[in-house]
Amino acid sequence: MTATTVHSVTVPRVTLPGVTTTKVPSTPTSAAALPHRDPAFDLPAQRRTRSDAPDWTDLTERVKDAGQYPTRAGAERVTRIVLSALGGHVTADERVELARALPDEAARVIASQIPVTRPLTAAEFVESVAARIDGSTPATARWDVSSVLSVVADLIDTDLLTRILAQLPAGYALLFGRAELSPAQ
């Protein structure tokens, strides 16, 4: 028997006599031909494997591009702040699935947060991020939040994003770069 470590949990690997496993080849994506895009970002989270999942550098480069930050270090700082703020607001299975869909370092930032007792409105959420960034205003914090969360929205599948938005108060969809649709009356 061997053991495999997945997300800091060691799971024993048991081989049963007479049982064989086969590796399923990954499905190629058309974005793989594009040199400026990492094809792993184009795969829905549930189809991604750890070998093709974007890493922390890929994530922060995407945030750097989305937010037009001059340095990756600046994008990395903003990404950590926004993900730590988000980590307390996403709970239950959605939190676990979100962590699985993101690079390990981003998953640790989200998972290390204590769940909030009262979810913040979207405006309060932006203000809380502004309070964590020196020299930030509500307008620049909204830019920072949207830069990070729009990249996160591109990394996760639509079903997960819909379930996350259902947990959050109205207004968060816009922060994720999605339209906020009101329910039919």
Helices and strands (H, E) in the chain, number of each type:
8, 2
* Element of type H or E holding 5: strand 2-6
Residue 44: Cβ within 10 Å count:
13
Residue 135: Cβ within 10 Å count:
6
Do residues 60 and 76 make contact, with C-beta atoms less than 8 angstroms apart? yes
Strand partners, 12: 3
pLDDT in tens, the chain (185 residues): 555 444 444 334 434 344 333 333 333 333 333 334 344 444 444 444 444 567 999 999 999 999 999 999 999 999 999 999 999 999 999 999 999 999 999 999 999 999 999 999 999 999 999 999 999 999 999 999 999 999 999 999 999 999 999 999 999 999 999 987 655 44
Coil, strand, or helix at residue 6?
strand
Do residues 106 and 80 make contact, with C-beta atoms less than 8 angstroms apart? no
Single pTM value for the model: 0.71
**Own/partner long-range contacts of 8-11 (Cβ < 8 Å, ≥24 apart):** none
Q: What is the DSSP letter of 36?
A: T
